[in-house]
Structure 1
């Protein structure tokens, strides 16, 4: 067995986990600003930490394309191991210092994000079996108010990306959707099926149609996303959804090709109250990991919708 000498010690290299955590936050959000908000740091401090890590590894981890940061080839390789390192660190810390979480957790979620949220709920439930989760479904404006009033402990909300409040976990295109072989998009007034009259998408969609001079009429508005999907499948109307939530049997419509107005991207945000309970913090972590894991698939769907 080789003895530990001064030479051996000098060859030891240790990562600063704060740098690793900052790198992962920037990689998952694609933005120094969003990562800074998540980590409660200044943008300058985040930039400095990324630079320190790049100097330590002697390679570039990010490249800037348009207005977004993207991982370099080295960054993509490093991200896999970085997540594993942080996960192991957090698991060891919880095992050695933490106590099992108990109690209840009220989670707010828009109707269209219930299914995408399922992996995060499953991961949380398996890790914390003594916490009772209850879902509160509603429109995003409702859920934001529920967080502020203390009626839910943590919530996902949707908003125009440029007006996002809270921690942005993902940004996605809002796309027009029709049933297969449906010509509903050609009809005037344009038949629309919206999930809820308080939906965050509704004023954006109706404003875009008004600016384009396209008359519209409501076919269905009830808060039931399955009923909305049914009207679209039947060819009675078109709707708008985030690209990752479009069912496989429905089709997205490229605005320019179908004479429809372009729609702005929307942000999926985590909203937490001023005083956050430990269970809500842990649930938020599960959401971040789940949403980040789905980001690549969402990007491919977005390119197909373009």
Structure 2
């Protein structure tokens, strides 16, 4: 006898896994909190045991829930691939896609690889700029869609993932112990810069700028050389760097990875957006 699981309850499960709360999961999926709670309850009834436990204000996975993340992600990916195969026409043309430097190395390659394989006749033009610049370019019609890193999500956008801003340095490095604290920032338009500076000032931690450019290569070079620390998203770190646990460094807030599309997006752009959603959803199991 076949046993089928509604894909919507699996999406709700992964949304709560990513966001840590029913409220945020409801925002991600554009549903009510009651709908999300009911979907999680249905999945737990199928499983026969709770999938989440509460840790303070957050919901975290129970051991039984952790074992479901990988197959749940595979199910969503397979469902979306089937939907795409049924619905997506053989597009041609160009997609102009923007991403900020702080996540371009972690999230962009799998999106581009997957889309290129599915639509080899479509040329993708990649633009790397700070989030503020990308939003301006999108509004001006110079981009078709963009990923951004923001503390909130503006009208017309959708949040694909939550991630915490953390202090990062060389593995086994000493830069975080120096006074004043040497910091590598992005340029003036960098969204992380004012947040990190405000946190340092509130903590009364003296600092000095070592690098001020919105380009990950020089920032990474100063970090790997143990010349500075930097505020970066926790899921976008190369293996050569580590999250610093120094309690003298002020805590930084969570950010959203948002997706925006130009109004009246052509089918190729909508297809690219779907691939971005699937790739970032698949990364939640990592």
Same fold (TM over 0.5): yes
The one of the two structures with greater contact order (alpha-carbon pairs below 8 A, sep at least 6) is: 2
Aligned residues: 283
* Secondary structure class of the residue paired with 2:105: helix
CA distance 1:60–1:224, shift in 2 (3 Å): same
1:205 aligned to which of 184, 196, 203: 196
1:98 aligned to which of 71, 76, 88: 88
Structure having the higher helix fraction is 1
1:56-205 matches, within 5 Å, as 56=46, 58-116=48-106, 117-160=108-151, 163-165=152-154, 166-179=157-170, 182-205=173-196
**Residue segments in structure 2 that go unaligned for 5+ positions in a row:** none
CA apart distance, 1:203:
0.3
CA apart distance, 1:181:
6.3
Q: Give the alignment's Cα RMSD to 1 decimal.
A: 2.9
Structure 1 match to 2:5? 15
- The superposition leaves residues 27-73 of structure 1 with CA deviations (integer Å, 9 ceiling, x where unpaired) of 44433333333333222222223333444554434333323333444
CA distance 1:97–1:201, shift in 2 (3 Å): closer
Structure 2 match to 1:304? none
CA distance 1:88–1:219, shift in 2 (3 Å): closer
C-alpha distance in structure 2 between counterparts of 1:21 and 1:181, whole Å: 39
**Residue segments in structure 1 that go unaligned for 5+ positions in a row:** 1-10, 298-306
Deviates more, 1:118-127 or 1:279-288: 279-288
1:245 aligns with 2:236: yes
CA distance 1:254–1:52, shift in 2 (3 Å): closer
Deviates more, 1:128-137 or 1:287-296: 287-296
Query: Contact between 2:168 and 2:243, CA under 8 Å: does it hold in 1?
Result: yes
- In the superposition, the TM-score normalised over structure 1's length comes to 0.78
* Secondary structure class of the residue paired with 1:255: coil
C-alpha distance in structure 1 between counterparts of 2:55 and 2:145, whole Å: 33
